[in-house]
Amino acid sequence: MKEEFLILAIESSCDETSAAVIKDGKEVLSNVVASQIDLHRKFGGVVPEIASRKHVELINPVIEDALEEAGVDYEDLSLVAVTYGPGLVGGLLVGIAAAKAIAYAYNLPLVGINHIEGHIYSNFISHPEIEPPLVCLTVSGGHTDLLYFEELGAYQILGRTKDDAAGEAFDKVARVMEIGYPGGPAIDKLAKEGDSQAIDLPRPLIYDDNYDFSFSGLKTAVLNYINQKKQKGEEIPKADLAASFQQAVVDVLTAKVVKAAQDKKVKRVLLSGGVSANSHLRRELEEKLDELEIKLYYPQPRLCTDNAAMIGTAGYFKYQLTGEIAPYSLNANPNLKLG
Amino acid sequence: MIKINTSNPEETFKVGEELGKKLAPGDIVCLQGDLGAGKTSLAKGICAGLGVKADITSPTYTIVNEYRGKYKVNHMDLYRIRQEDELFDLGFEEYLYGDGVTIIEWPDKSGALMPDQYLDINLRGEGTDREIRIIPQANKFIGLMAELKKDVDLSN
pLDDT tens per residue across span A3-14? 799 999 999 988
Instruction: Say how far apart CA A60 and CA A147 lie, in whole Å.
Output: 34
The number of C-beta contacts closer than 8 angstroms across A and B is 81
Instruction: Say how far apart CA B61 and CA B76 lie, in whole Å.
Output: 10
- The alpha carbons of chain A give a radius of gyration, in whole angstroms, of 21
* Exposure b/e, B76-107, CB count within 10 A at least 16 = b: bbbbbbeeeebbebbebeebbeeebbbbbbbb
> Contacts of residue B91 in chain A, CB cutoff 8 Å?
89-90
Res A37: pLDDT: 46
Q: What is the pLDDT of residues A135-190, one digit of tens each?
A: 999 998 888 999 999 987 788 999 999 999 999 999 999 989 999 877 899 999 99
Residue B5 CB coordination number (10 Å): 15
CA B123-B125-B126 angle, to 5 degrees, is: 155
The percent of residues in chain A predicted with pLDDT above 70, rounded, is 94
Instruction: Say how far apart CA A314 and CA A317 lie, in whole Å.
Output: 5
Instruction: Say how far apart CA B52 and CA B70 lie, in whole Å.
Output: 7
Res A285: pLDDT: 96
Instruction: Write the residue in B66, B80, B85 that is nearest to A48 by C-beta.
Output: B85
Task: Determine the distance in angstroms separating the CA of B61 from the nearest CA of chain A, rounded to an integer.
Answer: 5
Q: What is the pLDDT of residues A87-98, one digit of tens each?
A: 888 889 999 999
Residue A292 CB coordination number (10 Å): 11
The percent of residues in chain B predicted with pLDDT above 90, rounded, is 65
Q: What is the pLDDT of residues A254-278, one digit of tens each?
A: 999 999 999 999 999 999 988 999 9
Q: Choose the mutation target among A14, A50, A245 for the interface with B, i.e. most B CBs under 10 Å.
A: A50
According to the per-residue pLDDT averaged within each range, which of A114-118, A220-224, A251-255, B138-142 is highest? A251-255
Residue A48 forms contact with B (CB below 8 Å):
yes
Res B111: pLDDT: 87
Mean pLDDT within A292-296: 96
Mean pLDDT within B1-28: 95
- Integer angstrom CA distances of residue A186 from A71, A141, A182, A193, B36: 38, 14, 7, 12, 20
- Grade residue B155 by pLDDT with cuts at 50, 70 and 90: low
Q: Is pLDDT of A36 > 80? A: no
The percent of residues in chain B predicted with pLDDT above 70, rounded, is 98
Please, what is the average pLDDT of chain B?
Answer: 91
Judge: B34–A90 Cβ closer than 8 Å, yes or no: no
ipTM for the whole complex: 0.71
Res A127: pLDDT: 92
Instruction: Say how far apart CA B41 and CA B48 lie, in whole Å.
Output: 11
Name B44's Cβ contacts closer than 8 Å, sequence gap at least 6: A163, B13, B16, B56
Mean pLDDT within B13-33: 96
- Integer angstrom CA distances of residue A120 from A137, A297, A304, B111: 8, 11, 10, 38
Domains and CATH numbers, chain A: 6-121+304-322 (3.30.420.40), 131-298 (3.30.420.40)
- Integer angstrom CA distances of residue A137 from A82, A310, A324, B39: 22, 16, 25, 27
Instruction: Say how far apart CA A205 and CA A212 lie, in whole Å.
Output: 7
Q: Is pLDDT of B97 > 50? A: yes
Paired with A72 in beta bridges are: none
Residues within 8 A of B (CB atoms), A 204-223 only: 216-217, 219-220, 222-223
3-state secondary structure of A109: coil
Mean pLDDT within A113-137: 92
- The alpha carbons of chain B give a radius of gyration, in whole angstroms, of 14
Res A43: pLDDT: 47
Instruction: Say how far apart CA A302 and CA A307 lie, in whole Å.
Output: 8
Q: Which of A6-15, A298-307, B18-27 has the lowest mean pLDDT?
A: A298-307
Judge: B57–A161 Cβ closer than 8 Å, yes or no: yes
> Contacts of residue B83 in chain A, CB cutoff 8 Å?
48-49, 51
Residue A38 CB coordination number (10 Å): 7
Res A47: pLDDT: 44
What is the end-to-end Cα distance of chain B in Å, rounded?
A: 16
Instruction: Write the residue in A53, A88, A216 that is nearest to B62 by C-beta.
Output: A88
Task: Determine the distance in angstroms separating the CA of B4 from the nearest CA of chain A, rounded to an integer.
Answer: 20
Instruction: Say how far apart CA B124 and CA B133 lie, in whole Å.
Output: 9
Rounded to 10°, the helix A166-177/A183-191 angle is 70
Q: What's the one-letter identity of residue A119? A: H
Q: Is pLDDT of A41 > 90? A: no
**For strand A6-11 and strand B64-68, is the pairing parallel, antiparallel, or unpaired?**
unpaired
Please, what is the average pLDDT of chain A?
Answer: 90
Instruction: Say how far apart CA B129 and CA A190 lie, in whole Å.
Output: 31
DSSP codes joined into one string, A114-182: EHHHHHHHHHHHH-TT--SSEEEEEESSS-EEEEEEEETTEEEEEEEBSSS-HHHHHHHHHHHHT--SS
| Tally of helices (H runs) and strands (E runs) in chain A | 11, 10
Q: What's the one-letter identity of residue A77? A: L
Instruction: Say how far apart CA A246 and CA A169 lie, in whole Å.
Output: 10
The pTM assigned to this predicted structure is 0.82
CATH entry 2.30.40.10 includes domain B2-151: no
Mean pLDDT within A227-254: 95
Judge: B62–A51 Cβ closer than 8 Å, yes or no: no
Q: Is pLDDT of B145 > 80? A: yes
Instruction: Say how far apart CA A309 and CA A21 lie, in whole Å.
Output: 7
Q: What is the pLDDT of residues A175-208, one digit of tens each?
A: 899 998 778 999 999 999 999 999 999 999 998 9
Does A47 belong to an annotated binding site? no
Instruction: Say how far apart CA A231 and CA A21 lie, in whole Å.
Output: 55
Residue of A247, A213, A7 lying closest to A109 (CA atoms):
A7
